[in-house]
Structure 1
Amino acid sequence: MKLPKILTSLVLLFVLTGPARADWLLDKDNSHLSFGSIKNNTIGESNHFGAIDSRISDEGEISLTLDLASVETWVDIRNERIGEFLFQTGMYPVATLSGQIDLDQFEDLAVGENQLIETSLVLDLHGQRKNVECELLVTRLGENRVMIVPHELIFLDAEDFDLLSGLQKLQELAGLPSISTAVPLSFYLTYSKE
């Protein structure tokens, strides 16, 4: 066998069997997504979702899925009403967040260091898709471990996602004079890869 053929074979072997880049997977035990609600103009409450899943591909594409039926408000009847009347989980069981966050750009960060990034994510909720502009803080927790948090609170408007009639129904059922349509969102998402 001639030398060029051997070299070509070795190059092909390296390309085909070389180390594959892996996706970053959500560490669900060390991640949390919560949202606030304000009723009667003065009473704030914190709620969260018990079931979230996410990954960031080696191309930097982030996808996050919320199981809307896993909403937790610490009041069972309120959980049921939010699922039925606000999120309408029978028709819209999940919400998704997608966009671009290339974690390769943080390879030079030392453990414990962080860096801000600006990005635009797409939230698909209740049949509506809206861009969410946000500034995120990425912290390197280990060689193959990062945490992502919003640098500032992210506010969503229920009207943008066709949720006003559901809010009005909740307000009526609970006998409340008001429920704010502005919804603050916060999270910490921990990702790791093998």
Structure 2
Amino acid sequence: MLQIIFMNQAGQEQKRAQLPIDAINGMQIINFHGDKKEMLVDVPHNNQAKVESRILGGRQMFFLPREFFQQSTFRNLSHAGFNVKLLDTSERMDFFNQVYEYVIQHPQLDRLVVSRTGDTAINSSRNDFLLFKSAAGTLAFDWFSGKRALLIEFLIVVLTENNQRQLNPNDHRSEDEMLKQVLVEKFAGRYEVE
């Protein structure tokens, strides 16, 4: 078994430890052997001479209805580097509107996940597309993720189209039909479904 051996100034063995293991958010931990529980923790982004990438509030946000909040959910998302924004509605268009307003007011946000159903997956597209989940084999708009600019564009188009649909007495599309039409016509080649 490979180990790290720490020597004192006289060249004698003082402590033994395991090799570094990877932990959350890029940290590495070295656990010491012995009676006491001791460890060294390396947080790489704190070891920089000049810290530039840390932003108060973070760059990743997960939007979730308050009704689905659980402490374990918060802990898991936090360990994955996401902040959680709880919203007080789960009605689709109100939820989208609250997400839009929050994202507009927080320009530092970069990676976003929107979940209306409590699904806490944090997948993202490998091609910087919007990523949607399908439910029972059909496209659902209850969970999606993406980069800030594309997600804002999607929300603007959806909210605008929904307002026009509601004001036009000749528009008989359902909310789902309108969402699918927006996605297919205005975001073709810029979204993926998993």
TM-score bucket (shorter structure) = under 0.3
Bigger-Rg structure (1/2): 2
Which structure carries more helix by proportion?
2
Q: TM-score, normalised by structure 2?
A: 0.26
* Higher RCO structure (Cα 8 Å, ≥6 apart): 1
Q: TM-score, normalised by structure 1?
A: 0.26
